[in-house]
Chain A
Amino acid sequence: GENVEQHPSTLSVQEGDSAVIKCTYSDSASNYFPWYKQELGKRPQLIIDIRSNVGEKKDQRIAVTLNKTAKHFSLHITETQPEDSAVYFCAAKNAGNMLTFGGGTRLMVKP
């Protein structure tokens, strides 16, 4: 089945710096890759997603890139702010049409 690896598990950046979180997946047939942000004690919320017919997608300070050949995708957050502090999960749609989640990255943005 699908396996999704996410790195790093924790990331600490200074406010205003950029943050990059990387995920690799195993199933070359996967074609949908969402990113969820989960603040402490709250629900996961979709922040951006990308489908395999696109190499990059951007929404204000957030961007996702996808390399199908290498089977990895990355989340890029520019000009980080303290409110970006949260746990971020990547996911990939598996053969059963379910999402397989990565292990999560705890992002801490220091003011």
Chain B
Amino acid sequence: DAMVIQNPRYQVTQFGKPVTLSCSQTLNHNVMYWYQQKSSQAPKLLFHYYDKDFNNEADTPDNFQSRRPNTSFCFLDIRSPGLGDAAMYLCATSRVTGNEQFFGPGTRLTVL
């Protein structure tokens, strides 16, 4: 089945220790998104890629970076995680922007 896959599902890191979360998709969608979600709050968009074009939300901290080496994969790098970065990180894809988004299962990040 075509889908959005995230690895790992659970990630524990130490305060200040860089961490990378990964997302892959078999939908061949042009757009990939990264969201941060805390405690059943609304997902908060961090950034998105339309093909290779990177688009950062204005209030996304510099601590968060992303890479999209090819159509299928997208990575979220947190350079120096703080306690406030503990959250669920959701990857999503859509064929074009403004269309239905398909979400991955998320990676729950714990910062010790």
Binding site for B on A (CB under 8 A): 32, 34, 36, 38, 42-46, 49, 87, 89, 93, 96-99, 101-104, 106
Contacts and interface: CB of A to CB of B under 8 A. Distances in A.
Contacts, number: 42
B70 interface: no
Contact of A98 (B41, B97, B105): B97
B98 A44 contact: no
Contacts of A32: 98-99
Interface of B: 40-43, 45, 48, 90, 97-106
Contacts of A49: 100
A43 B91 CA distance: 10
A104 B39 CA distance: 11
Nearest to A94: B98
A29 to B, nearest CB: 11
Contacts of B90: 43-44
Contacts of A106: 40
11 contacts: A36-B103, A42-B105, A44-B90, A44-B103, A87-B40, A89-B42, A98-B45, A98-B48, A99-B45, A99-B101, A103-B41
A23 to B, nearest CB: 11
